[in-house]
Copies of this chain bind each other. A is one copy, B any other.
Amino acid sequence: MKLPPHITEQQLSSRLDRFEIETPSWGYADTGTRFGKFLQDAAALTIHDKLADAGHVHTLTGCCPSVAVHVLWDFTPGTAPADVKKFAESQGVRIGSINPNVFQDQAYKLGSVANPDPAVRQMAIQHLLDSTRLGEALGSDTLSLWFADGTNYPGQGHLRRRKRWFAEALQQVHAAMPASMTMLVEYKPFEPAFYHTDIADWGMACALARAAGPRAKVLVDTGHHLPGANIEHIVAFLIDEGMLGGFHFNDRKYADDDLTMGSIDPYQLFRIFYEISLAEHDLGGPLPIAYMIDQSHNLKPKIAAMIQTVMTAQEYFTKALLVDHHAIARARDSGDIIAAERCLQEAFTTDVRPFLGRYRAARGLPQDPLDSHRQSGYEARAAADRLPRKPRASGSYA
């Protein structure tokens, strides 16, 4: 592995040590498409299953110490936050971001905080406030907000009025957050709303985050862009505006496909990491960015897919650190496009797997966490435990 002059293998390792990736509780459960779910025997059912899986992933990878939780799917009535927090600790992980759900209840048919019915808007805000409290109780420092609000047909909604409702709701929630909590506002151009989405792009998320308050930032889900969007440019722009809060990583070929990170366009993933690496180089230290996974492992075994994802994240993050900042600056200054491009390409082409093997070994971790998982028998044990508890059917499109 050829290192650029500005970094040693030790510094590389040291930067990697601070590269933590949050896995989502729902990524361990059965998910699917509108046409149905293909159930997996070992898929997690309860928050305890999910935390156990997340703990297993962290044990093997060493870089996934926190777990995103979902208020509705994880906290059934009667689940005590303190117990969950304690159970997480017993599995070697902690609770990361808290994710409210204001889209699943039948009341949200026409929206949550932008619902034309004030009672529903209030119900949604209350859920957000409750989630903030729950997050506090769980020790979470991140309130991660995704809204399904939007309309399906032209004329259905009053777009500017809905924007105002959103601003008011976010302000109210921001005001109620403890000082240690950050609000992340996610954007998405479509789905499940098909004509307009209230927070459709980074610009809208940024405007609403600013309206909410100083601790609100933008959450970039890599699958939530229109075809052709230059995501790394958006990332760089948000960094410069001081508004990049974090990522939901996944990959896509068409829409919000929620495939494994880097599985379709690894060079784009590398370029995103490069913009972060460049900004940290320029600014002299790590940026406070939440790196989170949000994928839908419809077909792949869930834990294996999660480990594969984490390994991919480490691989491309490492490659991005290998770009020679001085050489590329020289090439840019002299207008040498090919030389500048080659700086990226050489880092991208470098095979960092041997280094990552050494890196993991030095930390007492398996060199290939995916193989270790496959040989661990974990999945078979999980299936044996969970299968008897599973519902038989998975719903139907119509």
Interface residues of A (CB under 8 A from B): 26, 29-36, 38-39, 70, 72-73, 103-104, 106, 109-110, 116-117, 148, 151-160, 163-164, 189-192, 194-197, 200-204, 206-207, 226-230, 232-233, 236-237, 239-241, 252-255, 257-260, 263-268, 271, 275, 278-279, 282, 296, 298-301, 304-305, 308, 315, 323, 328-329, 331-333, 335, 337-338, 340-345, 348-351, 353, 370, 394-398
Contact = CB atoms under 8 A, between A and B. Distances in A.
B158 A237 contact: no
B298 A152 contact: yes
Contact of A156 (B157, B204, B337, B396): B337
Contact of A200 (B73, B159, B230, B328): B230
Copies of this chain held together in the complex: 4
Given A31-B397, A116-B333, A157-B332, A207 B237 contact: yes
A35 B106 CA distance: 11
A158 to B, nearest CB: 6
Nearest to A235: B159
A229 B265 contact: no
Nearest to A108: B38
23 contacts: A31-B398, A33-B34, A34-B34, A35-B103, A38-B109, A70-B398, A73-B397, A104-B396, A116-B335, A152-B257, A155-B343, A155-B344, A156-B340, A158-B332, A159-B275, A160-B240, A189-B229, A194-B253, A196-B233, A206-B207, A230-B253, A300-B337, A305-B338
A267 to B, nearest CB: 5
A39 B104 CA distance: 11
A237 B200 CA distance: 11
Top 6 closest pairs, chain A to chain B, by CB:
A203-B203, A227-B227, A26-B398, A194-B257, A226-B226, A33-B192
Given A228-B189, A396-B73, A397-B31, A332 B156 contact: yes
B194 A233 contact: no
A10 to B, nearest CB: 22
A395 B72 CA distance: 13
Contact of A259 (B32, B195, B305, B338): B195
A164 B240 contact: yes
Nearest to A352: B349
A77 B219 CA distance: 48
A359 to B, nearest CB: 16
Contacts of A341: 153-156, 263
Contacts of A304: 338
Contacts of A203: 201-204, 206-207, 237
Contact of A337 (B103, B153, B190, B278): B153
